[in-house]
Amino acid sequence: MTGVDDTILAEAAAWHLTSARDDMDWDGFTAWLEADPEHRAAYGEIAAVAAALERHRDRLAPLVVEPATAGRARRTWPFWAGSAVAAALAGVLVVPHWLAGQPETFSTGRGQQTIALADGSSVVLAPHSRLTISGRHRDALALAGGAYFEIRHDPHRSLTIRANELEIGDIGTRFEVQATDRAVRVEVSEGRVEVRGDALGGPVQLAAGHRILFDPAHGLARVSFVAAKDVGEWREGRLTYDAAPLALVASDLARYAGVGVSVPPSLAGRRFSGTLSIKDGNSAVRDLSQLMGLELSYDAGAYRLSDPG
């Protein structure tokens, strides 16, 4: 690594290590990044090395060092042991500049994943989601599933995110995007984004504290208010809704709480408002059924919601 203070490198590695934890201090991380250009440089270097090692982990065997002095015992050291980079391998991936032009796709299973862009921006990819990053300047993203974005302001870069039939343009802010076949949601906690799409008739400017819910099946969009603390709250184990279709809530529970929920067509459009804790998926489904006054049954590994008989 080049020209960066060891203390700053250690701090960067520590941020990498904690970013995969539920109690990650994202405000503190952003403040640290913005406090000094060297912080961003150190974070990018740590993340780039970590990503390279992670990508080739299966091909790397422990490095065996043969001492030159006869009679001394041979010592075996893990290739990445004993350095600050080891912490970076705990859960953060990076998209370094030298990958420009080559699309990179990141997919998650039951857990979330933090993707650190080389300019200091970051994306928290939700469970069961996929993000593809492409473009010469790594500014063309395509999302299927959910993600929380913390994008550093750069007047020379125009980042866009394709989500189903919509395109979200960002100039440096914090926001969340959820994209499924049934709906696309964009919620802004800080700054402003522009949402575009043929079905919208024209660009929609979303400022902090606002969300848009787009129904691709009917070409309908609804803009409403959202509390900044509720944006990306799945990272903290809860989901809050304001008149969201029940089918969308069921889809979220499958992704974030790991429980299958079947909703009959007659209930798919019924609206739900409230907060669900998703730390226990079974409890979340029970709470949903009680709050909506619906019957709940369980069969073949999945729940089913229905109107009371």
Q: Are residues 215 and 277 in the same domain?
A: no
User: Are 270 and 148 members of one domain?
Assistant: no
> Is there a contact between 47 and 142 (Cβ–Cβ < 8 Å)?
no
Lowest-pLDDT range of 126-135, 151-160, 249-258, 298-307: 151-160
In three-state form (DSSP H/G/I as H, E/B as E, the rest C), the secondary structure along 36-60 is CHHHHHHHHHHHHHHHHHHHCHHHC
pLDDT in tens, 157-196: 778 899 988 999 876 789 999 998 878 999 999 999 999 9
- In whole angstroms, give the CA distance from residue 285 to residue 272: 13
pLDDT bracket for residue 35 (50, 70, 90):
confident
Picking from 198, 215, 231, the residue at the C-terminal end of a domain is 231
CB 120 within 8 A of CB 44: yes
- Give yes or no: residues 78 and 55 share one domain: yes
Model confidence at 142: pLDDT above 60: yes
> At what angle are helices 37-55 and 26-35 packed, to 10 degrees?
120
Q: How many Å apart are CA 259 and CA 223, to the nearest integer?
A: 28
**The domain spanning residue 301 has which CATH number?**
3.55.50.30
Local confidence band at 50 (pLDDT 50, 70, 90 cut-offs): low
**Over residues 100-108, mean pLDDT:** 79
Mark whether 85 and 101 lie in a shared domain: no
Better-scored residue on pLDDT, 5 or 256? 256
Do 168 and 241 reside in the same domain of the chain? no
Percent of the chain with pLDDT over 70: 78
Cα distance between residue 117 and residue 206, in whole Å: 24
Q: What is the pLDDT of residue 1?
A: 45
**Full domain range(s) for residue 66:** 1-91
pTM of the model: 0.67
User: Domain check: are 48 and 72 in the same one?
Assistant: yes
Give the helix ranges, DSSP H, for the chain: 6-18, 26-35, 37-55, 85-88, 246-252, 265-268, 281-292
Confidence class of residue 152 from pLDDT cuts 50, 70 and 90?
confident
Choose the final residue of a domain: 75, 91, 107. Answer: 91
Residues 127 and 199 in one domain: yes
How many separate domains does the chain show?
Answer: 3
Q: What pLDDT is attached to residue 293?
A: 94
Enter the tokens of residue 169.
């343009």
